[in-house]
Amino acid sequence: MSPSPSSRAVRFAVVGNPGNRRVTMFADAVLAAGLPAPRIVAWRDVLRGAYGFTPGELVRVDSPGEDPEVDRALRGGGDPTRVEGSALWYRRFTDAVQQVARAAAEVGATLLDDPQDIAVLFDKRRCHARLLAAGVHVPPALTGPVHGWDDLREQLRAARMPRAFVKPAHGSSAAGVVALEFGGPGRLRATTSVERTADGRLFNSLRVRRYEDEREVAALVDTLAGDGLHVERWLPKAAQHGRAADLRVVVVGGRATHAVVRTSRSPMTNLHLGGSRGDLAAARAATEAAGLGWEALTGISEQAAACFPGTLCVGVDVLPGTGWRRFAVGEVNAFGDLLPRLTGLPGSGAEEQDTYAAQVTAVLRRERHRATSAA
Ligand SMILES: Nc1ncnc2c1ncn2[C@@H]1O[C@H](COP(=O)(O)OP(=O)(O)O)[C@@H](O)[C@H]1O
Ligand SMILES: [Mg+2]
């Protein structure tokens, strides 16, 4: 693509971790559009108060993850796989994003992600509440704070919610997520990738396991509750080849452009926990056979993304109900998955593009629009 006269003036900066694949892929997409390479502003430097934004720069904020030094600074040290500390991480991370916004505003650079949106997207309770208020179909959730196991058990009983997803409010990548089900009297099962050591410490592992002893589950939940919990009804998900399925839909500039199906033998479909790519065409056929229409999927994803109008690109986790008869939004992610080489949905306008190229195109479209409406 050759740059149009107005796009020649576009300069990007990315706040991210140098060498991170998401950052590299975005930089490649910028170069492929004939634009100068984006300036990479390292999270390490941001945390020391060094930004160096220049007037007119368009600043994309990317994940601070996957850099041990940055991770230690945000989480306050300790083992990187430990589950506790997400509330502190959230406070420091959202503070840092505010500082980025302030530094950008001072010199007249523009953020492509709204700091207020980011603060909501990284709090599953606030994200859920915002979606619900906008009429997006989400799983019913407990509304009050959860103080620990006894409190949770009582609240679930009162809400008639025998199967629930218990999620750390500030978690991602299924860290600390527990799928909980009460069977008959005294019967209980918790499915999670959290490993509890003999001395009671919690670590995220790559293996999904089950706990059925109430004392063990209680200890797990009591510890998790310290960082804040979001609890919602466990929706029975549609399946492909006997594996539970959900969809990750990427919405760029308000438009659902890319989608993948993720399937797993466990209730969590996250790829690092043994989830794998499912069959999107089969999901579409099943949805249409159920009489729902594929627009239901793009529609609910765009409706969810519209709750975050200041954010260029979001990844929406869509939960298909049993039989592909209804969709609900499980969560909205600010930074999205790495989806290399995935091209866009038919009719999305991004048929030939990966998610990064689609973002660059959306920004250029917007800049052209600004230029013409200012002229
Ligand atoms: N209410 C729910 N009912 C059924 N499955 C759910 C529900 N919430 C989340 N899941 C599943 O759990 C996994 C992780 O949940 P998610 O909210 O996306 O957290 P994370 O930010 O850790 O990825 C996803 O694979 C999703 O399909
Ligand atoms: Mg998710």
For 164-203, b where at least 16 C-beta lie within 10 A, e where not — what string?
A: bbbbbbbbbbbbbbbbbebeeeeebebbbbbebeeeeebb
Q: Is the CB of 278 under 6 A from ligand 1?
A: no
Q: Whose CA is nearest to atom 8 of ligand 1?
A: 330
| CA–CA dist 370, 9 (Å, integer) | 13
What's the chain's Rg over C-alpha atoms?
21
Question: Percentage of the chain surpassing pLDDT 70?
Answer: 98
Fill in the amino acid letter for 44.
R
**What are the structure tokens assigned to 337, written together?**
């998955």
Q: Label residue 356 by pLDDT band (50, 70, 90).
A: very high
Q: Whose CA is nearest to atom 26 of ligand 1?
A: 268
| CA–CA dist 125, 141 (Å, integer) | 9
Task: Kindly give the distance from the C-alpha atom of residue 172 to the centroid of ligand 2, in angstroms, as a whole number.
Answer: 6
Q: Label residue 7 by pLDDT band (50, 70, 90).
A: low
pLDDT score recorded for residue 319: 98
From 122, 319, 329, 337, mutation site for ligand 1 pocket: most ligand atoms within 8 A of C-beta? 319
Look at the block and give the residue holding tokens 């920004």: 363
Q: Residue ranges of the alpha helices (H) in the chain?
A: 21-32, 43-47, 68-75, 86-107, 115-121, 124-133, 149-158, 214-225, 280-289, 295-305, 355-374
Q: Is the CB of 84 under 6 A from ligand 1?
A: no
Query: Residue 175: is its pLDDT beyond 50?
Result: yes
Nearest to 305, CA basis, from 93, 174, 113: 113
The ligand with the least distance to the CA atom of 173 is 1
Average pLDDT of the chain to the nearest whole number: 94
For the CA of 331, the nearest atom of ligand 1: 17
Q: Is the CB of 235 under 6 A from ligand 1?
A: yes
Query: Residue 4: is its pLDDT beyond 70?
Result: no
Q: Is the CB of 208 under 6 A from ligand 1?
A: no
Q: What is the mean pLDDT of residues 335-339?
A: 79
Q: Is the CB of 248 under 6 A from ligand 1?
A: no
pLDDT in tens, 265-309: 999 999 889 899 999 999 999 999 999 999 999 999 999 999 999
pLDDT score recorded for residue 8: 57
For the CA of 333, the nearest atom of ligand 1: 21
Nearest to 50, CA basis, from 23, 78, 88, 13: 13
Query: Residue 38: is its pLDDT beyond 90?
Result: yes
Q: How many contiguous H segments (helices) and E segments (strands) does the chain have?
A: 11, 15
For the CA of 319, the nearest atom of ligand 1: 27
Q: Which residue has the higher pLDDT, 325 or 2?
A: 325
Query: Residue 5: is its pLDDT beyond 60?
Result: no
